[in-house]
Chains A and B, each alone.
Chain A
Amino acid sequence: MDSSPSAHNDGKESSGGVPRPPTDVFLHNAVHLSACLGVAPRPPGAVFLTAVFFGGLFLWTALYLPLAVPVWLLLTRAGGVSSANAVRRLVHCYGRVCCKLLARLTPVTVENLAGALPAPCIIAANHQSFFDPYCIGFFPVPYPVFVVRAWPFRIPLYGRIMRRAGYLNIESMDAESFLRKAADILHRDKAMLVVFPEGTRSADGKPGRFRSGAFRLAVDRNIPVVPLCIKGTGNVFPKGSRFGRPAPVRVTLLPPLYPERFACYGESARLHLRRSVKHAIREALQERPHC
């Protein structure tokens, strides 16, 4: 039997003959002390993950920006790619590296049950953490166009890149303008619209209420919707916490849902499509409870 001080202690006497409380009592006391001080206890690896991830993100961003400009010029001048599509492609490459960085720090499982994605299409994802938009980098989505609220457009540099990429500020337009602009982009650029229909991150990991805008677009313009189930990013980067922590992540692209299947519902087709997408995501979240 290992009697070293670092060995697991189950409440028996230590090598010095003084009874020690079990390890989980220490843990309980640490949690209690943290709660008294109003500080969330940090699980093992939290500081390492946070430092490496955000340090890596900062380094990668600093390296990538000077590289991206000549590549953008090459794509637009020699490659015949539109300016917005070139920015979208560059953003996707940036996201791919961010995904690889996360996968180095925590177990990540990626599943594509959708096969080759139809283009154009709408990717509708549940939202658990700030990392979720990067999750598109796990899949071959060459020209993602994000539908974003107003505040991210105010982030220096990011906002400028988002405007260059033609991302849609949902809070700056009415329903008709959104339908028209989104449909134009999707058909003209063969792009893929990425939406988080909850509009905000879920605090408990369960999908919240879905907004209808993207589903109205899908029904009006007959564009397939591909549900994306993101599970575990909310545990890695909890809402309201400054520290990340290692936890399993599973990202699953689910089979597309085609709006013509819902045409029989008439004016409420968008609501039925919305429910089906949410149901598919909820089912995928419930499968394999431990990722």
Chain B
Amino acid sequence: MLTRLGPILAIGLLTVPVLFGLAGTILPAFGYLPALGGTSFNLAPFQRLFAEPAIFMSALMSLAAGLVTAAFSLLTVMLFTAAWGGTRIFVRIQHLLSPLLSVPHAATAFALAFLIAPSGLIARMISPELTGWQRPPDLLIIHDPLGLSMMAGLIVKEIPFLLLVTLAALPQVKPARMRALIASMGYGRISGFVFGLWPSIYPQIRLPVFAVIAFATSVVDVAAILGPTTPAPLAVRLVNWMNDPDLSMRFLASAGAILQLGVTAAAVVIWIGLERIGARVRERLACAGRRFRRDGVLRLGALAVMLASAGAIFAGMTALALWSVAGLWQYPDVLPARFELRNWMRVLPNLMEPLATTLSVALVSTVIAVVIAILCFAREDQTARPPGRGALTVLYLPLLVPQVAFLFGLQLLFILAGMEATWTALVFAHLVFVLPYAWLSLRDPWRAFDRRYDQIAAGLGKGPVRRFFIIRLPMLARPLLAVAAIGFSVSIGLYLPTVLVGAGRLTTITTEAVALASGGNRRVIGIYAFMQMLLPAAGFAVATIVPALIFRRYRDMHV
């Protein structure tokens, strides 16, 4: 049966690139890479790595970025869900944040940069009246040495993600009833949630939290746009070495990737320690029966952080859009003196080729990922065996292993196979990251499908193929297209896999945008970042409009 292929393909696609990629990173890290003259195992790459200036500062910065980002985003989401779950405000914020999920990391980082930079929108709004600035002050707000703006850029992006996974886990704990029950015992909203509901929610969102840690400890695009430069976070330096024309730097980069693996692992281990401490404190407070009824300030605080993080992205995106059509825009004017399309006309010809690559790779990898996910779930229906914990970990594998650690090796394998910088290799690399999201987002709608429709169709004499194409596929058209839109947006946002596998010859909107970061031409950056936001949004628009048009006659097919 065809469906048998589903799980095999999925497991193969998720494990083979990661494991072979890791091997392809580990061997050169220990000096072995015959193609570049490394024929014996030695520790020279590591000696060279540890002789690099401020390498431990870089590692420490990466470690801190991972832990701070995860802790701040998770606490915000927990407190916000505790304080406002089940209210109208909660639903409003949820609707406000969910489109932000599809905005690529790099675009979010640019949005924040255009907002908070000394010449950014905020400074313009309060200058010169409050600040007296007639020129952008010489302040290191972005690229600050502590990495605060980089962490902020990661946090505003991870909050919507963690809120979404929390929302997916929430119904299973029957929040409304539990909330009423706990409130009747006299607990405050936040303490009741944290004591009574959070312990059953957290285990379900633990893998996504680990994925956030892995991503934030090894992020490259956000770090290049907002992060410190002296020294830069570890992953940024690794990619620079990897792209160095001096090929012997690859040994150094590979050794660095092993260090990155250690940094991410250390962050996860520290996090597990923090989990234990947190659980201990919670148990002690709960056993003491502390009610914490006066939590008004904390409730407002959680709401404020939520609003600020969403507001920052929206305001920053507005700034990006303004710059893309700005003519003369003097400091400290809040708006440009003139709007013009000349910037677009000038950039558009250069935009076409990356745009074509972006769209074709995103579409093809998404279609393949959705088909594989469907085959997996169809197989699951046949065997009536839901995948266990192990399968879920495999699914998260590409999201839990820092990207640099296996992409370096994967790139090497592509080079050895003569597939470097080919379109096929790029689709394959994207698929590794699109598939987990496709699978995860299709799981609930697929399982929610009423299987009695299938039984009825079988009773009417229809075989499995017709049951699938005539009944299930159309009835699931809306969620399937939504899943495709998610996969599409994931592909659009992928930076590191594209840079490494595309090797600078195949570029996408995202890699072009990040490459422009150091140049500082705001109008051009505005255009590229705007395109980055536009494409996922267009995907979601198509996913909403198409089924609405096809099924416009049928009321129960509307949401």
Q: Do A and B come from one complex?
A: no
Give the interface of B toward A (CB within 8 A): none
Give the interface of A toward B (CB within 8 A): none
